[in-house]
């Protein structure tokens, strides 16, 4: 049986654009059919924005690559109509063990508090994520949505103009020219779009090499994340074991500096390393092996006129904390509703700079967090290692040291602090729902809150009066009226009210809080809508 | 919030100092360094307050703040 990454999912087909005498103009062209590009295209198409995705390949990504998808990514995927497939296929995990030398020092549980529609994390091969998104594209096409994927369409040249972008695209049947009002570059860390436009991508390069291997094996280890510091089978280095669907296990072994990647990649060198880790009595088969070093860097800004960068093309982090694909999906989430407002003339073009402003803040947070993890996992000085080892030794005996152990701080959505789109906080409420934060989910009887906040501005009231809708400058916020009585577990109260008796929230289409007060006050919320749409 | 105390505050200064030195008896350099590191982390956790710890880091660097 062929692996799904060996089957063309969007094989090349000739487009009428290739036979047009003049360049055809599209509303949006997305470069790259990875998770981020597909998410952008689906989001826009769901809002009726005509979108063409160009990819130089015709298959989902080879090998597993990203494997940890966060709760926020699943919430975004829900809004895109693909979340349920991911959760059904994915491996749920919420526990982990930390080993130091030859002993387990402690174990942990993620998000012990209940009351979320999606799990804290799932493990899923990136190719399943892409496959689910491609299937969603096909569903949208069947419903007549304006979305198209063109395989084996490689962008060779880009011309930028004030109000559009021109592209030269290479195909198996020769080149053609095409245009777009907007270009979204989701073409990865080595982004050809970024290179063709001569844009910077600065940051820090780390020298440690890592061996990453996906192995197929029948093993009855529990579904947990296991992380080793300085284990006997990889002395002085680190190791990670994580389960994926289909009995595929992700193994990540730090190899240190000054190694020969070509040699280390060879199966005859990889197998003994894995054998030392897994023991002699486990049968395994290599699915995918790669040797990597990593960088933490980002573009100075993610918008350059009519070209917007999202995902790895705009920012790159170390793998610790699952902050790559997850942050890319949040880029898509942040961008699409803004682009829709600009395309509809309901927000000024400059409004899109807020995409860069907010997602640069998120990228910096991700880079900072993953750099701290990197320092803990691969200490850069003798004293750094001594302190790291002291933390690990203490963590075996004393609970206080466990929060200091850093084998990756798992991705959480960035709360945009001081965003120009947020209004000043006017509720004495919980920190988790302050303006700029992503709304945490909450139970509502048999249902959940977040699916009710999907894709439009929402005026969420909890035990507060308000009109059914509020329209300001062509943007309508629709009321969702709730009461603390709707959630007997009291999570809604805990996450959205705290000690306040009532609250009114303005929630953006990407489920981030734009404004909140203890009661609805019309002028304040009109102003909040203007701010959240770049008009104040 | 308490300020970092930089005036005498130990109940038994001589006794503590003797205990500190004695704790390192018989340890090699690496194990001694490791003990100091663990002690530092235990004390830092006991203090907890970010501002006090930040002032302590500056005071330990022997630079005027």
Task: Quote ipTM for the complex.
Answer: 0.95
pLDDT at A1 over 80: no
- pLDDT tens figures, A408-460: 888 889 999 989 999 999 999 999 999 999 999 999 999 999 999 988 999 99
Domain identity same for A345 and A446: no
CATH number for the domain spanning A441: value is: 3.40.30.120
Are residues A191 and A81 part of one domain? yes
Check CB contact under 8 Å for A394 and B41.
yes
Of the residues A363, A383, A409, the one at which a domain ends: A363
What pLDDT sits at residue A112?
63
Identify whether residues A43 and A134 lie together within a single domain: yes
Q: Which of A230, A381, A390, A405 to mutate to test the interface with B (most CBs of B within 10 A)?
A: A390
Residue among A386, A398, A400 minimizing CB distance to B37: A386
Q: Which ranges in chain B belong to alpha helices (H)?
A: 13-22, 29-47, 50-60
Tell me whether residue A382 is in a domain.
no
Q: How much of chain A, in percent, has pLDDT values that exceed 70?
A: 99
Decide if pLDDT at A2 tops 70: no
Contacts of B33 in chain A (CB under 8 A): 386
- Determine the straight-line distance between the first and last CA of chain B, rounded to whole angstroms: 19
CB-based contacts of A433, cutoff 8 Å, min separation 6: A439, A440, A495, A496, A505, A513, A516
Nearest CA in chain B to A390: B38
Of the three residues A316, A334, A363, the one that is the final residue of a domain is A363
The pLDDT of A223-251, averaged and rounded, is 93
Is A249 a member of any domain? Answer: no
Span of A32-36, A64-68, A368-372, A449-453 with lowest mean pLDDT: A64-68
Are A450 and A303 in the same domain?
A: no
Q: What is the DSSP string of A357-402?
A: HHHHHHHHHHHHHHHHHHHHHS-SSHHHHHHHHHHHHHHHH-GGGG
- In this prediction, residues B30-53 reach a mean pLDDT of 97
Query: What would the mean pLDDT of A356-381 be, rounded to a whole number?
Result: 94
CATH number at residue A323: 3.50.50.60
Does the pLDDT value for residue A50 go beyond 90?
A: yes
pLDDT at B14: 97
pLDDT digits (tens, 9 = 90+) for A108-120: 887 666 899 999 8
- Chain A hits for B42, CB-CB cut-off 8 Å, are 394, 398, 400
pLDDT of A220 over the 90 cut? no
CB-neighbour burial class of residue A383 (10 A; exposed 0-12, middle 13-18, buried 19+):
exposed
Q: Among residues A309, A341, A363, which one ends one of the domains?
A: A363
| Cβ <8 Å between B42 and A393 | no
Residue A261 inside a domain? The answer is no
If asked whether residues A307 and A172 sit together in one domain, one would say: yes
Domain span at residue A342? 4-90+119-200+296-363
Alpha-carbon torsion (A314, A318, A323, A329), positive or negative: positive
Q: Is B57 on the interface with A (CB under 8 A)?
A: no
- The reply to whether residue A391 touches residue B41, judged by beta carbons under 8 angstroms, is yes
Contact A386 B33 (CB under 8 A): yes
A394 and B33: CB-CB below 8 Å? no
Q: What is the pLDDT of residue A218?
A: 84
The verdict on residue A96 lying in a domain is: no
Q: Do B42 and A386 touch (CB under 8 A)?
A: no
B29 Cβ contact list (under 8 Å, min separation 6): none
Query: What pLDDT shows up at residue A411?
Result: 84
Most confident of A127-131, A133-137, A271-275: A133-137
pLDDT at A184: 98
C-alpha distance from A401 to closest chain B C-alpha (Å): 8
Q: Can you name the residues that pair with A157 across neighbouring β-strands?
A: A168
Residue B64 has pLDDT above 70, yes or no: no
Partnered with residue A475 across adjacent β-strands are: A472
d(C-alpha A427, C-alpha A500), whole Å:
7
A529: part of which helix (H) or strand (E)? helix A522-532
Q: Are residues A476 and A345 in the same domain?
A: no
Residue pLDDT, tens place only, A64-94: 688 899 999 999 999 999 999 999 999 998 7
**Sign of the dihedral through C-alpha A359, A364, A369, A370:** positive
Q: How many domains does chain A have?
A: 2
A394: chain B residues, CB-CB within 8 Å? 38, 41-42
Residue A512 lies in a domain: yes
Indicate yes or no: CB of B38 within 8 angstroms of CB of A393. Answer: yes
Same domain for A177 and A68: yes
Q: Where are the beta strands (DSSP E) in A171-233?
A: 176-185, 202-205, 209-217, 225-229
* B38 in A contact zone (CB under 8 Å): yes
Residues A354 and A449 in one domain: no
């Amino acid at each position: 049986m062929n692996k799904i990454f060996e089957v063309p999912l969007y094989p090349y087909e000739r487009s009428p654009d290739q036979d047009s005498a003049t360049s055809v103009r599209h509303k949006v062209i997305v470069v790259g059919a990875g998770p981020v590009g597909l998410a952008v295209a689906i989001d826009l198409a769901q809002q009726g924005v005509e979108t063409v995705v160009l990819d130089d390949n015709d298959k989902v990504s080879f090998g597993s690559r990203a494997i940890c998808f966060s709760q926020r990514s699943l919430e975004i995927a829900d809004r895109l109509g693909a979340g349920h497939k991911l959760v059904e296929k994915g491996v749920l995990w919420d526990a982990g063990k930390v080993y130091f030398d030859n002993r387990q020092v402690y174990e942990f549980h993620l998000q012990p508090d209940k009351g979320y529609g999606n799990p804290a994390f799932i493990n899923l091969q990136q190719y399943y994520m892409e496959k689910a998104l491609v299937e969603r594209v096909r569903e949208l096409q069947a419903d007549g949505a304006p979305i198209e994927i063109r395989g084996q369409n490689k962008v060779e040249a880009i011309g930028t103009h004030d109000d559009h972008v021109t592209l030269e695209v290479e195909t198996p049947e020769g080149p053609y020219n095409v245009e777009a009002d907007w270009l979204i570059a989701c073409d990865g860390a080595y982004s050809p779009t970024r290179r063709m436009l001569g844009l910077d991508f600065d940051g820090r390069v780390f020298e440690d090499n890592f061996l990453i291997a996906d192995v197929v094996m029948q093993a009855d280890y529990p579904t947990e994340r296991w992380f080793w510091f300085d284990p006997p089978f990889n002395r002085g280095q680190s190791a990670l074991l994580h389960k994926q669907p289909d009995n595929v296990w992700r193994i990540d072994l730090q190899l240190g500096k000054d190694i020969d990647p070509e040699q280390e990649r060879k199966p005859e060198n990889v197998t003994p390393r894995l054998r030392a880790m897994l023991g002699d009595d486990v049968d395994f088969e290599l699915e995918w092996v790669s040797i990597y070093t990593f960088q933490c860097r980002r573009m100075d800004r993610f918008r350059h006129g009519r070209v917007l960068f999202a995902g790895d093309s705009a920012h790159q982090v170390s793998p610790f904390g699952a902050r790559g694909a997850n942050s890319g999906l949040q880029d898509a989430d942040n961008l699409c509703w803004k682009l829709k407002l600009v395309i509809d003339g309901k927000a000024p073009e400059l409004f899109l700079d807020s995409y860069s402003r907010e997602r640069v803040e998120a990228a910096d947070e991700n880079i900072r967090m993953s750099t701290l993890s990197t320092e803990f996992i691969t200490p850069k000085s003798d004293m750094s290692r001594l302190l790291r080892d002291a933390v690990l030794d203490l963590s075996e005996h004393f609970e206080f040291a466990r929060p200091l152990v850093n084998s990756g701080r798992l991705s959480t959505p960035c709360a945009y602090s001081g965003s120009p789109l947020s209004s000043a906080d006017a509720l004495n409420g919980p920190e988790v729902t302050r303006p700029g934060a992503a709304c945490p989910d909450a139970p509502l009887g048999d249902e959940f809150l977040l699916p009710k906040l999907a894709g439009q501005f929402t005026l969420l009231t909890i035990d507060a009066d308000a009109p059914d809708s509020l329209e300001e400058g062509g943007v309508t916020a629709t009321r969702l009226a709730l009461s603390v009585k709707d959630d007997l577990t009291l999570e809604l109260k805990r996450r959205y009210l705290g000690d306040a008796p009532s609250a009114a929230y303005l929630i953006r289409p990407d489920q981030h809080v734009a404004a909140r007060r203890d009661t609805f006050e019309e002028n304040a919320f009109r102003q909040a809508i203007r701010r959240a749409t770049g008009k104040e | 919030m308490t300020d970092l105390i930089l005036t005498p505050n130990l109940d038994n200064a001589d006794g503590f100092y003797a205990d500190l030195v004695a704790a390192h008896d018989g340890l090699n350099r690496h194990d001694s360094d490791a003990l100091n590191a663990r002690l530092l982390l235990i004390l830092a956790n006991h203090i907890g307050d970010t501002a006090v710890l930040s002032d302590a880091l500056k005071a330990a660097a022997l630079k005027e703040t």
